[in-house]
Amino acid sequence: MNAPLKADAFGVGAQPIPVADPIIRFEQVGKSYPGRRGQNAVTALSGIDLTVPKGAIVGVIGRSGAGKSTLIRLVNGLERATAGRILIEGEDVTGLTEAGWRARRRQTGMIFQHFNLLSSRTVFDNVALPLEIAGAPKAEIESQVTRLLELVGLADKRERYPAELSGGQKQRVGIARALATEPKVLLCDEATSALDPETTQSILALLRKVNRELGITILLITHEIPVIKEICDRVAVIEDGRIVEEGDVFSVLTRPQHPTTARFVEAVTGVELPAYLADRIRTQARPGDETVLRITFTGENATAPVISRLSSTIGVDVNILAGRIDAIAGRPFGSLLVSVPTQEPELAAVLGALKTLELKAEVIGYVS
């Protein structure tokens, strides 16, 4: 089995990353389903090693069928592992009885893609449901639900029914309900996939608030890389039931080591060729052509006047074609398309200077 690739603190190489104080740990976890009518068993997960640090937001990203939903359902006992161990707060939950899982689930909240609210109950009663099941006194339920509705911004909607709410408001009810029993871990199953972009941003901001203010560890699964980029501290990329890359979000997204990761992150870290340029670019240089480079900026270099310094230092004209500066995990990240002379020694001087500045440069093609 190939181990998942892990970027170091600078996003280079494949070094192991120590993770202190884990709250969830997968150790060589596998999950298989019996085959139908004599067919071979179906393997959903294989050799999963993953650590979720206490207080972190960890995302698992993968395409449909990659195994991410199975992975998250193992954490609250909705699925049972067929190999390996899962430890939660140091307890091996792999062999828990159903009674044991009921106790464990009170420490684990879950929010869903399609909200899963009860249409016949008000907002207040939907949030109160886990507390009622746990046998909490009415005074405690009133106090806890009122506090949570204020937290999620729905204090004025307590007597409304789900049909009267927007999608974002329904998800806020789902978050409040998941927090009702004061869990230590919040599981998010594609929590923003059914929402529009603006509402998605507001829900992600709320999840970050829950994480920071309440200290709740969040494990989320998604197929949307902007979700990972926006709020996660760490990320694991899953493909065909195996984790192919994992590490801190900034390192993984700015220096992906696996082709699957690179395909995911291209949309949020790259700069598309302008239409006028895409039609003209060639893979082989002709006399007089300019070389088109994609330059990646990270850390302090993302906002520093690197191009002007480059031009003044080596005396080569650098033409800016397109660019963007963004933030990943709260740290600046930039990508720039430029054209520079193809002839030597100018091109060698440019590439050498970029290397000295510890900037990644990729040759995209050539234009006249």
Examine residue 345 and say whether the peptide bond preceding it is cis (omega within 30 degrees of 0).
Answer: yes
User: Could you tell me if 328 and 367 are in contact, meaning their C-beta atoms sit under 8 angstroms apart?
Assistant: no
Residue 307 located in a structural domain: yes
User: Could you tell me if 297 and 306 are in contact, meaning their C-beta atoms sit under 8 angstroms apart?
Assistant: yes
* Residue that is last in its domain, among 230, 251, 268: 268
Domains held by the chain: number: 2
Q: Output the tens digit of pLDDT for each of the chain's 368 residues.
A: 445 655 433 333 333 334 567 999 999 999 999 888 778 889 999 999 999 999 999 999 999 999 999 999 999 999 999 999 999 999 999 989 988 898 888 899 999 888 899 999 999 999 999 999 999 999 999 999 999 999 999 999 999 999 999 999 999 999 999 999 999 999 999 999 889 999 999 999 999 999 999 999 999 999 999 999 999 999 999 999 999 999 999 889 888 889 999 888 877 766 677 777 888 888 888 888 888 888 887 766 666 677 777 777 777 778 888 887 777 877 778 788 888 888 888 888 888 888 777 777 888 888 88
How many angstroms separate the CA atoms of 261 and 51, rounded? 19
Amino acid at 225: I
The length of the chain in residues reads 368
Residues 224 and 96 in one domain: yes
How many angstroms separate the CA atoms of 12 and 29, rounded? 28
Residues 337 and 190 in one domain: no
Q: How far is CA 202 from the centre of its chain?
A: 16
How many angstroms separate the CA atoms of 127 and 115, rounded? 12
Residues 248 and 296 in one domain: no
Residues 230 and 264 in one domain: yes
Q: Given its phi and psi angles, is residue 90 left (phi above 0), alpha (psi -120 to 50 degrees) or beta?
A: left
Contacts of 317 (CB under 8 A, 6+ apart): 311, 340, 341
* Residue that is last in its domain, among 238, 268, 298: 268
pLDDT at res. 366:
87
Q: How far is CA 327 from CA 8, 62, 228, in A?
A: 19, 22, 12
Residues 203 and 263 in one domain: yes
Q: How far is CA 345 from the centre of its chain?
A: 42
pLDDT at res. 302:
61
Residue 89 located in a structural domain: yes
Residues 200 and 98 in one domain: yes
Q: Are strands 185-189 and 108-111 parallel, antiparallel or unpaired?
A: parallel
pTM: 0.81
Residues 103 and 191 in one domain: yes
Residues 78 and 223 in one domain: yes
DSSP 183-252: -SEEEEESTTTTS-HHHHHHHHHHHHHHHHHH--EEEEEES-HHHHHHH-SEEEEEETTEEEEEEEHHHH
Residue 67 located in a structural domain: yes
- Per the listing, tokens 């080591």 go with 257
How many angstroms separate the CA atoms of 238 and 203, rounded? 24
Count of CB atoms situated within 10 Å of the CB of 350 = 23
pLDDT at res. 290:
87
Residue 176 located in a structural domain: no
Residues 189 and 85 in one domain: yes
Residues 212 and 247 in one domain: yes
* CATH number of the CATH domain containing 318: 3.30.70.260
Residue 73 located in a structural domain: yes
Q: How far is CA 51 from the centre of its chain?
A: 15
* CATH number of the CATH domain containing 246: 3.40.50.300
pLDDT at res. 18:
45
Residue 63 located in a structural domain: yes
* Residue that is last in its domain, among 268, 297, 326: 268
Domain that holds residue 351: 275-367
Residue 142 located in a structural domain: no
How many angstroms separate the CA atoms of 7 and 332, rounded? 18
How many angstroms separate the CA atoms of 29 and 31, rounded? 7
User: Could you tell me if 148 and 181 are in contact, meaning their C-beta atoms sit under 8 angstroms apart?
Assistant: no
Contacts of 66 (CB under 8 A, 6+ apart): 238, 239, 240, 241
Residues 286 and 264 in one domain: no
pLDDT at res. 5:
54
Residues 38 and 53 in one domain: yes
Residue 238 located in a structural domain: yes
